[in-house]
Structure 1
Amino acid sequence: ENQWSGSECMIGSQIMYKKHPVGFILVYSNHFSNIQKRDQNIIRYNGDFVTLGMSKIDKIESLLTDNYYNSHISQLYRSVDMYSKEEDIYDAVESLCHRFFTYDKLSISLLIDEENAQLKCVDGIKDDINIGSEFNIQGSLHGRALLRDESIRTKNWKEDYTEEYRFNDKSDKEFTFSSVLVTPVYIKKMVKGTIGLERLTSKPFDDSDQKLLELLSSTLGYILSWITEFQKIHDSSIHDGLTGVLNRNAFDERMEEEMNRANRTQQSLAIIMFDLDKFKRINDNYGHPYGDYVIKSTAQILKDSVRNIDVVARYGGEEFIIILVDTDVSKCRHVAERMVENISKFDFDYNDVKVRMTISAGMAEFPADTDKIESLIDKADKAMYESKRKGGNLVSFSYKNSTV
């Protein structure tokens, strides 16, 4: 039998069904220090994700009674993963609407704030209002479905809703739509959007049309909710929980991608390894909250000092690493020196305690120094320790098999 030493721990998340706990996700670690805030978030998000899926099973199964609709809508669910983009989901819903309904205009809109919505998808007539257009939900027919949390079905909207526009006054001038069917989209139990079908004729949408569009609206809402949870899990898995920059595992993957790309395009790239000088004194003298503040502030300074295309990651406790793409050491040396200078001039101020910090940096270049990932990082690391050996607050450079 396994013997517990006292340092083991478990973290878990409940799985709920109809407001009752029905299960849990449990993860074991052989030492409590291995569990980071990021890991706790991932477990919690996974629990929320499973709970969300289970809460919708009954309703989805009860609605999917027609085998024809069942097969097509089920395919939509199967096509979703954490890398699905919203626009791809809208395109898939548009394709189903085109298959299921006869209409002259399809629109999918989502709230962007408390007063306005934006069109995310448009099919059919687009000259009146198109993708990206915004409209005020007050006084609009499509906004009415949002505000009143109800489906709207009419064969002559101008007679039935005399004081409202379809979207806005401009959208009603050129085209005379008549029949309208709008259903709300729920995301995490809140009305966040609509799907609307419109016809130029007064041929009415019937009960089966409304029931099917409500099913599609529910499906879209569920999928958008799931994608949100997927993204939370993914973001937590690749970002450092304290600083928000990439974590070490994500950096390793990104480093491989950037080196492969540089190799294909015959470009250079440079990496910079950073380590805060004498950081231990901060934790010892002022406590770990101050140390966390210093690390977060340092990460922000480094992020603000590079381009959007460059990559910033936390590599260890007080270590950071940066990829500068499409450049070499000679061209970006001043960038590293500026970052070291920015750290040294920054007033770290937390709980009315001010300190100054310095940082040591080491640079290496692909492919001039090496074409191997591990070797490149090792060279930058050795160059960084050469900076520390010389007193810190300095940038050193790997050059072939030496450090300067």
Structure 2
Amino acid sequence: MSEALKIGVVYRDHPPQLCSDIAPGDFPWPLEYFQEETVLGEPVEPQPGFLAVFFPSDEEGPKTAGKLANVFPGAELVGFRNSLSEPVAQQMRSGLPVVPLPMRYPFLYHFLQGMAASRDARKELAKARRRADDLTRFFQGFVNIVESAWTVTERKQSLTLLIKELAQRLRAEECLIYYYNEVEDSLSRAYSTGNLKGMDLFDHHANSALIESVIRSGRPYLDNDYSFELKAPLNKQSALIRSILCVPLLRGSERIGAIELLNKEDRVGFAHDDAELVELLGHPLAVALRNVSMFENSERLTVTDDLTKLYNYRYLMQYLDAEVKRCLRYKKKVSLLFIDIDGFKRINDRFGHVVGSQALSEMGQVFRKILRETDIVGRYGGDEFVIVLPETPLNGAMVIAERIRQKVENYEFVAQNITIRLTVSLGVANCPKHTLTAEGLIKKADAAMYRAKELSKNTIRVAV
């Protein structure tokens, strides 16, 4: 029974009796009476909140109902008479229900209950239609964003945009996408809205185990009583994970990753409708994420060296040229290290090219462990490497060069059960101190490296 709704009765001379076997005060719905000439004679403010409105039925019934529909929006209009005469039958044929009053209470109660149920069903149907239309627009927008992206960068940007829209739609404080590498059995965070501070503290231990469990089971996880505090360092404000919704991203039987939403803004938590929506998005999201990964791998093959997996000469020069131009435009500094392995030919001659190749590959990993994420390291050719240090002055580049020199000198390269000790000679150049072009940086640093080799090897020289 819809307790909040009222029953209205429009009358002419005297208010009619609705029930013959129950007192008006015992009627379960609130009753309000309106004189017909009052509600039809002059403009009246709309009266919402009525389940049904009874009005005198006669030949003018359909016309009267049309006027009353404006006064009582959303209400069922029911004609009443004392007998079922011909005009009543005509009115019934026009689609308006007509009942005799008074009625026995059980019949009237079930009559109104049926109206309430029909009203609720119509509201749910309208809600479902609005939701379906909304979902259609959302999915179409999703498809348009994905299809408009061609490059890897554009595809990444489109996924970032999509998870932001999804977070806004579900009123989630944070939305993240995790990529699952089935070959390596590893999990990595691919995308994040970045709204919730301290998420780097939430990527391990319990959360990783939870996400892996969702991916392996293929079933969503919803918990509105989740409690995990992201403790910020240096007395900064911490964040609390209150609610969590995690849905696997699958493409058929292939496990692609998972999408995770945190902290529903209304604090009530995520609903099952939210989980269903994310599940609906799961397949196209999985396809988009897989495509980005495939494009990344394809693009990586064109810019990386086959042996060392470092950037190749072609990419190095493109990046360096762009970085030098950026440096000059914004009055920044960029430094370059040119590195050559000392006596590497003897390694190949003595132990063979397989051992030499493994040493070259491992050398690249040694460099990577020392460098920042923003630094670029590549194989220039043979046993020569180039490292680009964005926004790094000459003295900072010298510090990094010395770290590399010491690390290599003390490192044991193991290949084919053979332990090898190696050293490197390094040349350092800086833009704008030594040159204003990418080609000039390479030449200056290369020349400095050769001076280091001529002097004593295992040393560092600065460009002149």
Instruction: Give TM class, smaller chain.
Output: 0.5 to 0.7
1:320 and 2:385 aligned:
yes
Matches within 5 A, 1:152-191: 165-166=223-224, 168=226, 185-187=249-251, 189-190=254-255
Counterpart amino acid of residue 75 in structure 1? N
Contact 2:142 2:162 in 1 (8 A): no
Give, in whole Å, the separation in 2 of the partners of 1:352 and 1:270.
37
Answering whether residue 303 of structure 2 is matched by residue 234 of structure 1, we say: no
Q: Alignment RMSD, CA only?
A: 5.1
Q: Provide, for residues 156-202 of structure 1, a one-character-per-residue CA deviation record: whole Å limited to 9, x for no partner.
A: xxxxxxxx8556489xxxxxx9xxx9975314722743699x998xx
In 1: Cα distance, 2:215 partner to 2:379 partner: 43
1:291, CA displacement in angstroms?
Answer: 0.4
Contact kept in structure 2, 1:369 and 1:398, CA below 8 Å:
yes
2:359 corresponds to? 294
Q: Is the partner of 2:329 in helix, strand or coil?
A: helix
Structure 1 counterpart of 2:31: none
CA distance in 1, matches of 2:453, 2:293: 44
Q: Is the contact made by 1:273 and 1:321 (CA closer than 8 Å) also made in structure 2?
A: yes
Higher relative contact order (CA 8 A, sep 6+): 1
Assess, with a 3 A threshold, how the Cα gap between structure 1 residues 255 and 136 changes in structure 2: closer, same or farther.
Answer: closer
CA distance in 2, matches of 1:145, 1:261: 44
Structure 1 length-normalised TM: 0.56
Q: Distance in 1 between matches of 2:396 and 2:215?
A: 54
Q: Could you tell me how far apart the structure 1 residues matched to 2:212 and 2:459 are?
A: 59
* Deviations 1:58-98 (CA, angstroms, capped at 9, x unpaired): xxxxxxxx996785343133133411466742643664898
TM-aligned CA deviation for residue 374 of structure 1:
1.3
Residue 247 of structure 1 corresponds to which residue in structure 2? 312
State the TM-score, normalizing by the size of structure 2.
0.50
% of aligned pairs identical?
A: 22
1:79 partner amino acid = S
Q: CA 1:298–1:93 in structure 2 vs 1: closer, same or farther (change >3 Å)?
A: closer
Map residues 1-400 of structure 1 onto 2, 5 A cutoff: 71-80=140-149, 81-84=151-154, 88-89=158-159, 91-92=161-162, 95=165, 149=218, 165-166=223-224, 168=226, 185-187=249-251, 189-190=254-255, 192-193=257-258, 215-330=280-395, 332-399=397-464
**Deviations, residues 331-383 of structure 1 (Å, cap 9, x unaligned):** 54354344334433433333343333232222222222221221221122122
Distance 1:294 1:219, change over 3 A: same
Q: 2:153, 2:260 → 1: CA distance?
A: 23
Q: State the distance in 1 between where 2:337 and 2:164 align.
A: 47
The answer as to whether partners of 1:108 and 1:193 remain within 8 angstroms in 2 is no
The one-letter code sitting in structure 2 at the alignment partner of 1:366 is: C
Q: Tell me what 1:63 maps to.
A: none
> What CA distance in whole angstroms lies between the structure 2 residues aligned with 1:393 and 1:204?
64
Superposed CA deviations along residues 280-334 of structure 1, whole A, max 9, x for unmatched, are 1211211112102221232233334444433322111100112233344455435
CA distance in 2, matches of 1:291, 1:104: 56
SS at match of 1:245: coil
Which one-letter code corresponds to 2:408 in the other structure?
I
Q: Is the CA contact 2:424–2:458 (under 8 Å) kept in the aligned structure 1?
A: yes
Relative distance call for 1:261 and 1:284 in structure 2 (3 A) is same
Q: 1:83 to 1:330 in 2, by over 3 A?
A: closer
1:294 to 1:131, Cα distance in 2 relative to 1, 3 A: closer
CA deviation profile, 1:192-242 (whole Å, cap 9, x unmatched): 43699x998xx997xxx97x8765332111111111112222333333333
> SS in structure 2 opposite 1:315?
strand
Task: Supply the distance in 1 between the matched residues of 2:246 and 2:463 (Cα, whole angstroms).
Answer: 64
In structure 2, stretches of 5+ residues that fail to align are 1-134, 229-242
Distance 1:295 1:216, change over 3 A: same
Aligned length: 303
- Give unmatched runs, 5+ long, in structure 1: 1-65, 153-163, 171-176, 400-404
Letter in 2 for 1:323: V
The amino acid across from 2:378 in the alignment is: A
Q: Is the alpha carbon distance of 1:166 and 1:284 closer, same or farther for their aligned partners in structure 2, counting shifts above 3 Å?
A: same
- The AA in structure 2 aligned to 1:285 is R
